[in-house]
Amino acid sequence: MIDLYTAATPNGKKVSIMLEELGAAYKVHALNLSEFEHKEPWFLEINPNGKIPAIVDNDNGTAVFESGAILIYLADKFGSFLPPVGDRRRTTCIQWLMFQMSAVGPMQGQLNVFLKYAPEKIPYAIRRYTEETKRIYSVLDERLSRVEYVAGEYSIVDIATWPWINAYDWVRMDLEAFPNLSRWRATVGERPAVIRGSGIPPNSEEEETEEEKIKRIQKLLS
Long-range contacts, 81-85 (Cβ 8 Å, 24+): 81/18, 81/21, 81/22, 81/154, 81/155, 81/156, 81/159, 82/155, 82/156
Cα–chain center distance at 20: 15
213 compared with 162, residue with greater pLDDT: 162
Arithmetic mean of pLDDT, 111-131: 93
Helices 88-99 and 156-165, interaxial angle, to 10°?
20
Residue type, 30: A
For residues 26 and 12, give the distance between their C-alpha atoms in angstroms, rounded to a whole number: 14
For residues 24 and 102, give the distance between their C-alpha atoms in angstroms, rounded to a whole number: 27
pLDDT of residue 206 exceeding 60: no
Arithmetic mean of pLDDT, 90-106: 97
Residue type, 151: A
Percent of all residues in the chain with a pLDDT value above 90, rounded to a whole number: 87
Domain 2-80: CATH class, spelled out: alpha beta
Q: DSSP letter for 25, please.
A: -
pLDDT of residue 222 exceeding 70: no
Arithmetic mean of pLDDT, 51-58: 98
The domain ranges of the chain are 2-80, 88-190
Cα–chain center distance at 85: 24
The CATH code of the domain at 88-190 is 1.20.1050.10
pLDDT digits (tens, 9 = 90+) for 135-154: 999 999 999 999 999 999 99
Q: Which pLDDT score is estimated for 216?
A: 57
Confidence of residue 203 (pLDDT cuts 50, 70, 90): confident
Q: Which pLDDT score is estimated for 32?
A: 93
